[in-house]
Amino acid sequence: MASPARFPYGEFRHARDATGSRFPSEGGDILDGYAALLNAATLHPGRQPVLARSKLRCNPTEYFPPAATNLMSLLAKIRAILTLGQGVARGLPELTAEDDPIALFGRWFRDAEQAGIFMPNAMSVSTCGENGAPSARMLLLKGFDAHGFVFFTNYGSRKAKELLANPKVAMVFYWPMLERQVRVEGQVTRLPEQESYAYFRTRPRGSRIGAWASEQSGALASREVLEERVREYEAKFRGHEVPLPPFWGGYRAMPERIEFWQGRLDRLHDRLCYTRQDDSWRVTRLYP
């Protein structure tokens, strides 16, 4: 059984930064928590923050006054200047078919982590159903290796229904601070149930309850209906392990095409495209 090797399932669920400070939960001081993450990313580049899922439920401007926003903007600009040498100035080298695009993606992913980018595993995932109309949404990458890129969802969601009709996907990772993006296109397959469960049990209990309560992409009469369903499943599983829902699990996208885009001066960007040919890759440099 293939299992993603780049980072372990559940890594991003831990609510602590590199300094050991807890990221604020609901009711906490969001600004102080975010400042701790900025400090960890700026002062300890070798010990990157493990970013939590924020429970922020209101207007972010209520938590980030103008002075704090300006400070964060300044820190982002400083980091951008410090990371210019990672690609903007030098660009992409002349790669060959012998070079491994998954290994290159891994290096770029680490660069994004080390640059302190918030949620570097965020990606746009596009699917297309029988009617030919594309749809896109943001998801979190939960693992990758030579076998593909892994993400999880409800099998009753719109994306899952479209993947059932047309099991192909297009994903985009965009790291603006580094002026980099990666486009991945390929065929998807469902993960084995035991692999989905291995990830599911690393999720916070509330997220596992939420997976049962949500009929993802279905019509919802009101927020109260959803919260009542959450209470029902909390009562049902109280004192017990929350099992994997039969309608929830993972997909692995096996890449057939991977394009690396590196921003350069005067919009003369570098683009290298890898196309799978049997067990090897063909690499082509594209016009910007």
- Which residues are designated catalytic? 267
Radius of gyration of the chain measured on its C-alpha atoms: 20
For residue 239, the number of C-alpha atoms closer than 13 Å in the C-beta half-sphere is 2
d(CA 210, CA 228): 11
Q: Closest by alpha carbon to 266, among 11, 123, 89, 102?
A: 89
Contacts of 282 (CB under 8 A, 6+ apart): 97, 274, 275
3-state secondary structure at position 249: strand
Q: How many residues does the chain have?
A: 288
The answer to whether the CB of 154 falls within 8 A of the CB of 211 is yes
Here the tokens at position 70 are 């300006």
d(CA 192, CA 249): 9
Count the neighbouring beta carbons within 10 Å of the beta carbon of residue 267.
7
Count the neighbouring beta carbons within 10 Å of the beta carbon of residue 163.
24
Q: Is 81 exposed, middle or buried (0-12, 13-18, 19+ CB in 10 A)?
A: exposed
- The CA distances from residue 76 to 89, 113, 115, 177, 283, in Å, are 18, 14, 9, 8, 33
